[in-house]
Structure 1
Amino acid sequence: MKWQEARELFPNQFLLVSILDYHYEGDKKIVDEIAPIRPIKDENANEDTIYEAYGIGGSVPFYTKIMDSLKIDRLTVENVEVDVGMLLPKEHPALLGLDVLKQYNFIIDLGKLKLYPSTQ
């Protein structure tokens, strides 16, 4: 569904959507297709603070959520905070902070681009 179609189906409402397809124009990511998930009540629309992360290649908006649990390999982490990107690449739906990786002594193999729980 195109954004204009969603605006016609959900006029004057905040809308939670899933991004199905996008393309780049220079350094800007352009959303081509969305799937409406549900309208959001006005009073709930600003529950999440939107931040902006900067890095090589530009910036990306994101918000933070607490997950009940997150399983990485054989380790389960309870009540962990993750950053959810609004326009992250499809293969990266969320970001796990270095603070969490350090707290649980994860090992990052940059040569293989793999993440391992510590054996300690």
Structure 2
Amino acid sequence: MKKLIIEGGLLLTDMELIFNGQLLHLQRVLVDTGSGSTVVSTDLAESIGIVAEENDMIYRISGVGGSEFVYSKVVDSVKIGDMKAKDLTLEIGAMNYGFDLDGIIGLDLLQQLKAVINIDELTVKANS
């Protein structure tokens, strides 16, 4: 089980991802059931060697926060509390939405984790 916080009307938590054996801890990650995909900040991703390469497709995603260009990378694993997803495709983008976020947990990751969000208790856990 992982605790969530509500800050400025946003549901936030933290998560860890591993790429080529390198660990990245993301502190301010938006839990967004309305986002189809999981997104990580370009600046933070680059700190562990996740960079756009020549063969990576760049494409536009759109949401309530606006639209931006991203590219995709498969990471070794993503961990939220005791829940873990392996070989997840993340979108990497600038994330200039007007508020400070390290990433967005989208429906793709929530479904893979079989996550159950309890708003009353402010927790997320795997469906047992």
Using the size of structure 2 for normalisation, the TM-score is: 0.46
TM-score of the superposition, structure 1-length normalised? 0.48
Q: Which has the larger radius of gyration?
A: 1
Larger relative CO (CA 8 A, sep 6+): 1 or 2? 2
